[in-house]
Each structure stands twice: as structure tokens, then as C-alpha cells.
Chain A
């Protein structure tokens, strides 16, 4: 018999139906990643609670896990997305606060330094752009941009066909471009990486 840590997520989740303790291994494996995602969306404080909620909900729903998926991350991100949705007001407050961090001065030469107040903050103009997206659009964008999920994984997480992911992202890009001021953000701000 293999040890729990050698099992893939699907096997772990499957076994946890009868051996609930096995689920703790899934927590050990993915909690940090889910925390990072939740912290980016909700802030570190709220994220602490959110991670617990995500794994409890996952645990309770584990019998429904599709065991043909060896990686549980899309599933966990899907749950995380729902948990974040429960904190939507908090997320909005956070995003709006970040959007207000500095005066909006599009085109200003100093923008980069002024915008990025600290590494912990989303750039105000990105935050502002986020506030102009619908909740569903934000979920989609951030699963791709912040959780680094593939389109296929996003489709699993949000329970929509991958074709829908693609078409929604296409529309989303247009909307984001407009929100960002119709400029090529890369050209203008080549050093936004961390």
C-alpha cells in the first residue's frame, strides 16, 4: 500500500470518503496555494478564514468529486471562488480601497512608482479595472491571472465548457483593455512584474 502523500489527489479524495482523515493530506498539499489566491482577492485576514471554509466545504462534498481528475486544484479553486463570492462585499471594499490609493493619473510619466504603493497592493488602475468587471468576469480573469489555471482547469473550476471560457475571456479582454484606457499596458509599464 502506498503512503498517502504518494497518492494523487483523486485517489486521496476517493479514499477520504471512507477514511476521512485522508483529507488532511489534501489540505497539507494545497492549503498554501488556496490561501495565496484567497489572500489576493480578500486580503490576508479574511483569507485565513476562507481557506478553512474552502476545505471544510470540499471535505463535505468529497463524495461528489470527479475522480477522473487527478489534480484537485481546479475543484478547490472552484470552491474557493464560491467562498470568495460569499465575501463579495469585502472584496469590493478591498478593491475599491486599492483603486483609491493614488490619484488616477493616466499617462503620467511617474505612474509606475506612484501606482505601486507597495507590493501588497494591486495597482490602483488594475484595481479600478477590476471594479468595472462583473463578479463572474472577475472570477474568470483572476483564476487565469492569479491562480495560473489553464483554460481547461478554469472550465472545471467554474463548471462551464472550455469553449465558453475562451469566448468569455475574449470579451473580457476587450472590456479590460477599455477599462485600462485603451493603451497597451505592457508597452507603457514594462516592469510590473514582481
Chain B
């Protein structure tokens, strides 16, 4: 190093270590951002969040779970599937069995990079989750015909949503703690509205989510027992800022009672419930602030329908070849690089902060034939993707801060609600 530079190097002011409180605050903010609702993520990996919003139409044993809501044509929504006839009581999945939730989703996909683009990608999802968190789960995602994002031309990449992907869902209930989604855990939640409210708030604090966000996490692609469903509905209804709306359509065109809350990005997020059974039907995201959403007010940018819930004995054969899920693996304790150039520096204390909770379940596929399943999709009306927009509005909210490096790869990411993990 040249002398002129060396004198600065050697004269560098000593600095105190990064105060642990400030360090934790900064880290928490970062994690909060990383787990924020409507974050951007790759659709194919976004299953945890992904929404399976849906319309739980028929539980195994079905009849009791036919939605009472009426369809847009005024007729009573047709049960998604007759499923198993004869069971009139709500079935409790047995240990070792799987809950299969089927849904159709539409969320915004955004591509950042040299070529910015937006479109609404649609999928059909099937999620198998061990009823008692005793085995890995499985997820299949099938691409459906995409829709235009208001004001944006349909990009070529939108066509990539073809075919079906299979993903293992790692099972690690210990690590998941309160973020568990298996039926056995959900059955332990408070069965009264007050208790549920307290649970929502407590869990929200842990996961940096608000209570309303926790509600969504609890019901997407899950099966809550009836007492918890009702408690959750009533607790959610009473949350500050939650607006109740009747006759709101889910992604399958079925009407229900919506609990809505304004969320980041200028959106009104509505969770639609069957008012009689309190089953979660689907989710609807509508633009209420054109500037932050980058789309005209009223545009529907998220729309889902949970089309079926059933109980099966085993995972389908595809689980054998499903993609690995590393989310139960250790998410990274800090490592301090042994960089000789910094050997003179006091090594700041390595944060002993526990790793972030990973998502989902673990490893141990149980191939076999599903015993039950089925739940056809109810007549599904095309989600109103609001194609009416006027001049293309350049996105204000596409993150693009500081990133000096040269080649800018185009990466497609999608926006969807997250679950806390």
C-alpha cells in the first residue's frame, strides 16, 4: 500500500463494537422485511406462503362441509365434491394420515432486472400435510393460464407456468413451534375467541406479523377443527382495522363473509369465510391505493379458492421423486470470516441469536396409494384481473436500490402472502 494511503489506514479511528441491541434491532428489521406479507418470492418455492387460499369445500366426509354460500349466479354453490358419502360428522384425521388441501391461486409475479415485467400467475395446488406432523408432506403446483397485470403487457416468461412440479415438504415440528400447521397442533389452539385473540397477538409478536397476518397463516392450506375455526373467525372479526363484508366472492366465484384488512402495498386483503361452517374459502386482494400498488384502484391482484380438503392415508407415488426441501435444515448461525486483513480488528461477538424458524415439515416420504381424495373444482370464474388499466404505470415499488455490480440477471419473483415461519 502506498504511503499516503497507509497513513490513513493506520490512522483509522478506533470504533466500538456494534452494540448488540442496535445489531439485533437492525437484524430484526431485516427479518421483518424478509418475512413481510406480500413479499416477493419465486412462485415455485413459494409454497409455504403460497397460498392456498381456498375454499374448503368438502372435507372428507364431506357433506357437512358443503359451503352454504351462494354462487355469483345466485344459486347455492355446488359442493366441490361429494367426496366420501355418509359421514356427517367432522372427521378427525388419524395419526399417520395426511390432510390434502387443494386450491387455485392467482398472485402477482414481478420480474426485476433489465426487463421489468408484471403479470398475474395462476396455479393449482395440492398440499398434503401429515395430520400429526409425523412425516414429510408433499406439494404439487401446476401452472394455469396467466393473466395480465393491469397496465402491463403480458411478458413471454409468463408462459413458463406450465406443467406440474412436486415438492417435498420437510417436517420439523420442534423447530416450527407455534408456526406449525398440522392438524394435531391446530387442534390444541384456543377454542374461544378471547383465547384465540391472545394467541394471534402473541404469535404475531414472535413472528413480526400482525394478528391479521397470523389469521391468514393459520387458515391457508390447513384444516382447523371446527371449534378453532369459529374462535378464529370471531377473534379475527374483532381485530382492530378489520372490516367485515358480506357477499364477497372468492376465486371460485362463491360468496362468503370477508374479513378484510388494509395491508402493505396499497391492498385490501380479504379472507373469505363460509359464514355457517367458518371454513376458509379463499382470499382476495384488491387495490385500494393505486400509487403503492402500481395498479388502478379496484384491480384484483390476488384471488384464490380453496377447492377441497380431504384426508388420505398416504402420499401419492410422486413423492418419491419430489424436490428436496431444505427448510428444516439449519438456517445459518453466523460465521465469522477468518480474513487475515481483519485480524487486528477486535472480533465482534458473534450473535447467538437462534436461527429463524424454517418452514414446513421434514423428511420421510411415505409413498403409497392415497386412499381418498378428490374434490373437483367448482365452476371457477376467471378472476377479474382488471385489465382495464390505462397508461402503464411504472412501478414505484420495485426494489432497486443500490446494487452496483455489472451484469444484471433478470430474476422473476412473485408476490404472494407469506406465512410466518
Binding site for B on A (CB under 8 A): 1, 3-5, 12, 16-25, 27-29, 31-33, 35-36, 39-40, 44, 47-48, 51-52, 55-61, 63-69, 75, 78-79, 82-83, 119-123, 126, 141-142, 144-146, 148, 156-159, 169, 172-173, 176-177, 180, 184-186, 189, 192-194
Contact = CB atoms under 8 A, between A and B. Distances in A.
Contacts of A145: 1, 5-6, 8-9, 12
Closest 4 CB pairs of A and B: A4-B332, A28-B334, A60-B399, A25-B332
A142 B196 CA distance: 54
Interface centre among A44, A121, A142 (most CB of B within 10 A): A44
Interface residues of B, number: 76
A120 B15 CA distance: 6
Interface in B5-35: 5-19, 22-23, 25-27, 29-31, 33-35
Contact of A59 (B7, B30, B42, B330): B30
A192 B8 CA distance: 9
Interface of B: 1-19, 22-23, 25-27, 29-31, 33-35, 39-42, 44-46, 112-113, 324, 326-327, 329-337, 341-342, 344-345, 348, 350-351, 353, 355-356, 358, 399-409, 411, 413, 421
Given A31-B23, A35-B18, A148-B342, A78 B331 contact: no
A51 B18 contact: yes
Contact of A28 (B6, B22, B351): B351
Contact of B3 (A5, A48, A57, A185): A185
Nearest to A66: B405
A1 B356 CA distance: 17
Contacts of B15: 35-36, 39-40, 44, 47, 120
Given A5-B334, A21-B31, A63 B404 contact: no
A75 B405 contact: yes
Contacts of B399: 60-61
Contact of B14 (A5, A159, A186, A194): A194
B17 A32 contact: yes
Contacts of B332: 3-5, 12, 22, 24-25, 28
B403 A32 contact: no
Contacts of B411: 17, 63-64
Contact of A24 (B27, B39, B329, B330): B27
Chief secondary structure at chain A's binding surface: helix
Given A4-B332, A25-B334, A29-B334, A17 B413 contact: yes
Contact of B29 (A20, A52, A78, A158): A52
A194 B113 CA distance: 44
Given A19-B327, A32-B336, A64-B409, 19 more contacts: A5-B334, A18-B46, A35-B15, A36-B15, A36-B345, A48-B18, A58-B403, A59-B34, A63-B113, A63-B411, A64-B400, A67-B409, A69-B405, A79-B403, A126-B7, A145-B9, A146-B12, A172-B4, A194-B12
